[in-house]
Structure 1
Amino acid sequence: MLVVDPFSDFTWQGLCPLKFEIFVWQLLKGRTLVKEVLAKFGVGHITTSGCPMCEGDIESIDHVFLVCNWANKVWRECMGWWNIFSCSSSSIKDWVMVWNALCPSKSVNRTWNILFFAIVWTIWESRNEVVFHGLVASHQKALNTIKFCVALWFKNFGCGSDVDLTLLMLDVKERCVDSNSTKVIRSKTKVISHASKFCFYVDGSSRGNPGEAGIGGVLRDDNGKILGMFSYYVGVLGAMSVEIYVIHRACQLLIDKMASLDSNIIIFSDSSSVVDWCNGEEFGNFNLVLLVHDIR
């Protein structure tokens, strides 16, 4: 069943979702706009390639997020909360692969994954404050920001305890764990109650019509707990095409990856015209006939 999502304006994680998704995509693809990458693009206003955080080596992606003394100290401090003292990788791609293996226990697996993205996001934001605003990077401010992100994102995933957010920040290690005693149902203002057990919220966006576009989706159960998610760059597409592509991709994932879900699933889209199109009988745009056919 495909219906219109009335909560399409909800901002996830207290951040601009598109801004955060673009950052993660650029980081994992090696396209984060540090000085080394900008120099390859021929940006002429860059006068120095040194790292603004430690005034050391060339500002490459690996250096900014791992090798830089300032960033390395942030990693060591955060991992030290769980008594883990290992930060020897010099490649961000290798570090992504190693990170899960360093997880201290299954009970903090979700928090451990959140911590990784909270750290890289905070390092990048701190670097930008130095470059664009002339501020001095503070380790303590960075650590407080990371604790806040971990606590907030953990609660937003529908598995945080019902204690105050401040207490979660003060004791991330002990309180941000997956256990029956800490799981609570998400706020009724953020979760729609349906007879169906699973809800797949999807959305697409393009910078122009057509323009550079991306799609994403989140699958939740009836308690609001996230069961899966996806996010992709899909090239240059028009606004209508993006909305169709994201619904089609959600259907593919449900067939390929989630065949064991023994319940009806409702897909939510913020585009009423696309919802009417997919639920109707006419195919409309000739270029999207096959996608609409597959969705039905």
Structure 2
Amino acid sequence: MKNATVASNCFWDGLQWKWTLSWARPLRVRDNQDLHNLLQLLSGVSLSPGDLDTFIWAPSKKGCFSVKSFSFELAKSEPNFPHKNFTGIWKGLVPYRVEIFVWLTLQGKLNTKDKLCHLGIIGPTTSACSLCNSTLESCQHLFLHCSIARDIWCWWLNIWHLHWCMPPSVQEAYNQWAHPKCGAFFKKGWGDEFPYSLTDIIREPKCLNWEPQRSGLHTQLIAAPKQLWLPPPPYSFKWNVDASLKPNESKSAIGGVLRNHHGEFKCLFSSPIPFMETNHAETFAIYRAVKISLGLEMVKHRKLIVESDSANAVLWCNGRSKGPWNLNFIINFIRCSMKNGNGVEIVYKSRESNMVADSMAKRGLTRSDEFIAWM
């Protein structure tokens, strides 16, 4: 609702928080629809009158704001949001201003002459390409189809002995570009071993073909493989749990996998749950795993580890942070299970070690009831 300045007069009415919003101008039809959607979102917010306010960025499992998590949220609500196509820009291989320039180009946000003409800033007679002066200057023409731009592309492609047919748009060109020699250099930027300067590269781009010499042999830098999953100690069990959300459909689900110290699957669960914020859903997944375990004779008297990729949920369950008041019941249940000699340990692990649980949680979004399988 642009240019509609809002003043809020929110208050507690007994145990219920009332949202009252007043506006500086009358709302249009579209504004009323936006206001209805806003009030629907606010209706799901539960405040605790006894707790201090804290800042938390809900879309991130760590609770901290990042541009990456923000763009992922936009991608969820807007199917056409170009997040997935443009993630390769922000690699730090070029100055930041160049990354921004490329990002604006891919979105068609540069003030090329066709755009300036459309906005009435310049006239049609001055909208020809600045390089070839033969046709209307647009992003697609300026960077791909202009005769001068085409010559530059051909020169660059010849360096790598490539033949390429120009696509109709800059976005398609970006999505198609994957150099066959793309290795650790292109992924990590210039390391300490790379012997050439930026000036050297500009003068002779073929130096990008450089590979380090190891013991007289030319070898490529290979990144160390990530450890996907570590087994628990002998005669103990490990849960990996995760949550998945579809905000545009108001759906949440949880999933988990239980394995022994040999890595053998012992139990799987996948379940839809009421729609809730990510960290809340992750806490619910931990609660469900602990509750299932208390009913298993093979697990009940053994050490149990529950791994989650939500740092906030792990902090809440371990009592190092108070946690949301509306999750008090399940958080207290988890804490009691940890104190009652059941050997329950809640730990944080990154998503790389949690892929099976992530898959189970995503499947829960399509289920109408809980699924549990015993091995």
Report the TM range for the smaller structure's normalisation: 0.3 to 0.5
Higher helix content, 1 or 2 = 1
Greater gyration radius? 2
Q: TM-score, normalised by structure 1?
A: 0.37
Q: TM-score, normalised by structure 2?
A: 0.30
Higher relative contact order (CA 8 A, sep 6+): 1
